[in-house]
Amino acid sequence: MIGKVTITLHGPAYMRRARLPTGVLTCDHPASSYGLPVVVVDGQALGPDDLPTKTFVNCWTIPDGKTINDVLTPAEWDETVALIEGAKSAGYQVRINYAI
């Protein structure tokens, strides 16, 4: 079970930062409800309305804890895609980086 997908936040509010905020997309957080994932950055859950205007969640298809050299099983791939699709359903603006 994957449980998390690595993300970075992008948008006008972050343009002048030396490093973009990094976190995870997960359903394994108390703020997650109805099976929809939340973005967690520095331990803080952020819903779509908590993010600055025009912010998008850049999702990597590398699950948290894996590297680009790890091969995902079909089940891991399905769970990764389900988390990303869940983020869209929750109202996040999502962009996907396919690291395959």
Domain residues for the domain of 56 are 4-97
Q: What is the pLDDT of residues 68-80, one digit of tens each?
A: 667 777 888 888 8
* Euclidean distance between CA atoms 90 and 38, whole angstroms: 8
C-alpha R_g of the chain: 13
| pTM recorded for the entire structure | 0.81
Q: Which residues pair with 95 in a beta bridge?
A: 58
Percent of the residues in the chain that have a pLDDT greater than 70, as a whole number: 85
Domain count, the chain: 1
AA letter at 59: C
Per residue in 51-74, pLDDT (tens digit) is 998 999 988 766 666 766 677 778
pLDDT recorded at residue 62 = 67
